[in-house]
Chains A and B, each alone.
Chain A
Amino acid sequence: MSALLSIQKMSHYFGGLKAVSDFTFDVPEGVIYGLIGPNGSGKTTTFNLITGIYAPTEGKIFFDGKDITGHKPFRIVQGGIARTFQNLRIFGNLSVVDNIRVARHYTVKSGFFTSILRLPSFRKEEEEIREDAMQLIKMMHLEDRALDNAKNLPYGALRRLEIARALATKPKLVLLDEPAAGMNPKETEELMGLIRRVRDEFKVTVFLIEHHMKLVMNVCERVKVIDFGETIAEGAPQDVGKDPKVLEAYLGRGGAEC
């Protein structure tokens, strides 16, 4: 399996604070990859660096063979990386359908004038986009709320919407930022199934960050554990779970959630 995403010696400082320290790792294609660490360990910063929200102070990021270090976020997304947010960033006053259609926008071929004049090619493309969006909605079990404003959806549906929206950008790599946050055990089980389905049906690589041990250990095929911006362990979940350094970082801190 080739590396879809390759991070090389990436470090990032916020002023004098070191958020991420000398990360080097590969995310192989087709894998469900997990990054765990306690709060403040640099997980979300890593995602922000990969998606171009910050340019890393040092190091390089390669995606699909190309150097994407320092590229603007929208270019990175158009290149095939999608992400969800820990604190849910949906378009509240837009409907569920519209939320998803926004993510399809960059693929739209109709130009400005074609659109405002509603020429036949525009109308045809709008039809297609709508159908594609509805398909995604059905897959995510959101069809009975398709026309509702997103801000009125319950929490679980919102999480599924974020994932659906990420998938609508036709990505090769999906970054999930704490997808299980705020979920009860049953919902977490469903999420795990959803993640596997997403990887299998959409043929994407999944890279998720969590501090919920059970989810990571059960769903991920490779895991990297970090703390204070530094790598503690990396490898298959079973091995990492037994690593003494990992146990110390987690159990020494008041216990991992099992």
Chain B
Amino acid sequence: MGELFSLQQLVNGLQLGSIYALIALGYTMVYGIVRLINFAHGDFYMLGAYAAYAAFFLFNAYIMPGNVFVFIVLIVAMIGGAAVAMLANRFAYKPLRYKPKLSSLVTAIGVSMFLEYFCSALPVIGPSPRGFPEILPKVMWKIGSAQVSNYVVIDLVVAAALMAGLTLLVQKSPLGRAMRAVSEDKDAAKLMGINVEGIISFTFLVGGAFAGAAGLLAGLTYPRITPYMGILPGLKAFISAVLGGIGNIPGAMLGAYIMGIAETTANAYNSLLGEGIAFVILIIVLLVRPTGLLGEKTADKI
């Protein structure tokens, strides 16, 4: 039990928040575009971590500077996450696009279960936890009263870079405009010649890639990976997205950092509270301000 409010807690919270942010962005983008809570999103994160793990062993033979190695492994993790996301969309979600939403939700649960149990059952992965290799030697610095490692820097920098890239994409590029159009009104977008399914597929790609990146960062920072590692972080990242306003990209980032700091602080106080704080936040948000911090109120016309 450390001090409750200290620089160290803040640093740890920002680190955790970075990981949650990358996962939360995927949730919020997919929800924004197809109104689906993709239960399997946390599992894309898990697969990213395992992809990175595999990449480490594949490329370990080549000599290269640590930073480059991390970069390559990051790319592999992102490709892994993106690939699974697009496959899930193509085979499980797309067929149910125009059916009642509950079917898609249940299918997402099924996909999530499948990914977890499949990885658990595959002999090459297996149900037992694996230690994530130390890809980059750890270096510690002291800033004020806090111990900050280079891993923290990597987490923050990677998350910031990806988030900046996404914001640029969504706000400034034609592709981003199309994405916003589709999330606003699918049918209207179609009538304007936008390839709606393509945009949806691309959204899953980006969301999955971000989740994969988060998986790598998590593997580095908390070096114990299991096939079930995606369940709780996925849930907490989703709650972060709800906190910020589901469907809202800056909201997801804001919510995730709040969640990261809240969880780290609560955990210092009491480990039970640390585990439960996410759900407490969820219930407060849904009771007090269901649209989230940055979300807009939409009235339902009856």
Contacts and interface: CB of A to CB of B under 8 A. Distances in A.
Contacts of B299: 14-15
A41 interface: no
Interface string B267-302: 000000000000000000000000000000001001
B104 to A, nearest CB: 21
Contacts of B302: 44, 48, 53
A53 B302 CA distance: 9
A53 B299 CA distance: 13
A30 to B, nearest CB: 29
Which range contains the number of A residues in contact with the other chain? under 10
A57 to B, nearest CB: 13
B30 to A, nearest CB: 27
A48 B302 CA distance: 8
Interface residues of B, number: 2
B295 to A, nearest CB: 15
Nearest to A85: B302
A169 B134 CA distance: 71
Interface string A47-73: 010000100000000000000000000
Nearest to A47: B302
Contacts of A53: 302
Contacts of A44: 302
A87 to B, nearest CB: 10
Interface string B137-174: 00000000000000000000000000000000000000
A228 to B, nearest CB: 17
A169 B299 CA distance: 29
Contacts of A15: 299
A121 to B, nearest CB: 38
B50 to A, nearest CB: 44
B298 to A, nearest CB: 10
A14 B302 CA distance: 12
A48 B299 CA distance: 14
A106 to B, nearest CB: 21
A14 B301 CA distance: 10
A44 B299 CA distance: 16
A14 B300 CA distance: 10
A157 to B, nearest CB: 24
Interface in A175-189: none
B7 to A, nearest CB: 44
A12 B302 CA distance: 14
A15 B299 CA distance: 9
A185 B302 CA distance: 28
Contacts of A14: 299
A14 B297 CA distance: 11
Interface in A138-154: none
B42 to A, nearest CB: 34
B266 to A, nearest CB: 37
A101 B299 CA distance: 32
Contacts of A48: 302
B296 to A, nearest CB: 10
Interface string A5-34: 000000000110000000000000000000
B300 to A, nearest CB: 10
Interface string B211-227: 00000000000000000
A135 B302 CA distance: 32
Ranked nearest first, the 5 interchain pairs of A and B with the lowest CB-CB distance are A14-B299, A53-B302, A48-B302, A15-B299, A44-B302
5 contacts: A14-B299, A15-B299, A44-B302, A48-B302, A53-B302
Interface of B: 299, 302
Interface of A: 14-15, 44, 48, 53
